[in-house]
Amino acid sequence: MQDGRTTLSKFLIDTLDRKPGPHAATGLSALLVDVAASIKTIAAALTRGALGGQHGSALSVNTHGEEQKKLDLVTNDIFLQHCEWDGLLAGMVSEEMDGVYAVPEPYPRGEYLLAFDPLDGSSNIDINGVVGSIFSVSRRSASRHEAPSEADFLRPGSEQVAAGYAIYGPATMLVISVGNGTHGFTLERDVGNFVLTHSDIRIPDDSCEFAINVSNERFWEPPVRRYVKECKEGRTGCRAQDFNMRWIASMVAEVHRILMRGGVFMYPRDFKTPEMEGRLRLLYEANPMSFLVEQAGGLSITGRERILDTTPRTLHQRVPVILGSRNEVARIQRYHGEYDRGEDKPFTSPLFNERSLFLPETPV
């Protein structure tokens, strides 16, 4: 007898296990149920807040030289424990581990690879702010018995077979895509089920909301400065409409807002970060979020290229990220093209502002 609700397991079995044809994703639904179990366990740990005794620094740094919080390590272990035993994974990569974690003996190895950020936005923990987990699943081509290598993980994001995030806010939600749209599930805490509440999420093509850490403005490239300047000018500028700005310092929270009501999120290429590669990590932040955004009708680029077409060179590679409402992201990509071709001088010149005599004749 049906109660009219779709749980995560039912959704996955209907979508993946009963999918006919040669591309049926054997075992993927079971793997995603294990990932969801990690997320429920993390949600329970986070809900205890400071009473859980897991707040504060772990007195260690990760591979990026960033201070690790106790909860960064606890949540990393939760993912490992829930996902290593089921015979579906060959190995895992995470923000909190230097190298590839090959599934150890005595567990059998499977055909999937999992990359994850167990606690995104962890600087929000101490202020009881929103945090999240992000994950990406791909298939390895090599034999399943060998230990996976770095090369197995260094594949473009377009090859992901599933991606998702959990947002730990007033409600815990799991948002996933297995390549047939982006779908949101809300955790029914007293029962322990994820229930489908946001089916086939669509990002509006247009938006008047942008998110960027403006304290980095002096390090940005001219096309990003141009876009943000025009947004700030609002109805007095060439956009002829007012914009809102938001910054939560958690990529999960920003992407979730964009999936719910549109907008643009930018952590662009800048002169502050090493080799100007941006701040966010390609494998377990930018790739899964780009997959979800594209599956919801949005765009996700580095500024110049589609993120999902980027072939990673290293496990912890960083990448500039500009994602969200299709028309806004396309505009920012156009600004990068005009800048690279030297066609944007009237817009980026210091002599140009909305009251200047140098106002270009053709508004963009």
Annotated binding site for Mg(2+): 95, 117, 119-120, 285
Nearer to ligand F6P, 88 or 323 (CB): 323
Point out the annotated binding site for substrate: 120-123, 213
Question: Which amino acid, residue 227?
Answer: Y
Strand 172-177 with 183-188, pairing: antiparallel
Is residue 118 within 8 Å of 79, Cβ to Cβ?
yes
User: At closest approach, how far in Å is the CB of 147 from ligand F6P?
Assistant: 28
Nearer to ligand F6P, 194 or 284 (CB): 284
Nearer to ligand F6P, 254 or 328 (CB): 254
User: At closest approach, how far in Å is the CB of 213 from ligand F6P?
Assistant: 4
Q: For residue 288, which of 146, 96, 93 has the smallest C-alpha distance?
A: 93
User: At closest approach, how far in Å is the CB of 95 from ligand F6P?
Assistant: 8
User: At closest approach, how far in Å is the CB of 225 from ligand F6P?
Assistant: 17
Point out the annotated binding site: 95, 117, 119-123, 213, 285
User: At closest approach, how far in Å is the CB of 125 from ligand F6P?
Assistant: 11
Q: In what order do the strands lie in the sheet with 183-188?
A: 101-102, 89-94, 112-120, 131-139, 162-168, 172-177, 183-188, 193-198
Nearer to ligand F6P, 111 or 285 (CB): 285
The residue with its CB nearest to ligand F6P is: 251
Is residue 282 within 8 Å of 318, Cβ to Cβ?
yes
Alpha helices in the chain (DSSP H): 8-12, 28-47, 70-83, 150-153, 222-233, 251-261, 287-295, 326-340, 345-348
Place of tokens 């060439």: 238
Nearer to ligand F6P, 193 or 213 (CB): 213
The distance of Cα 34 from the centroid of its chain, to the nearest Å, equals 20
Is residue 323 within 8 Å of 264, Cβ to Cβ?
yes
User: At closest approach, how far in Å is the CB of 170 from ligand F6P?
Assistant: 19
Strand 112-120 with 89-94, pairing: parallel
Q: Do you find a cis peptide bond into 156, omega within 30 degrees of 0?
A: no
User: At closest approach, how far in Å is the CB of 332 from ligand F6P?
Assistant: 17
Contacts to ligand F6P by CB under 6 A: 120-121, 213, 249-251, 267, 279-280
Give the pair of three-digit tokens for residue 231. Answer: 């947004």
Nearer to ligand F6P, 121 or 268 (CB): 121
Question: CA 67, CA 51: separation in Å to the nearest integer?
Answer: 22
Give the pair of three-digit tokens for residue 267. Answer: 């952590």
Strand 67-69 with 299-301, pairing: unpaired
Q: For residue 201, which of 299, 130, 292 has the smallest C-alpha distance?
A: 292
Nearer to ligand F6P, 135 or 267 (CB): 267
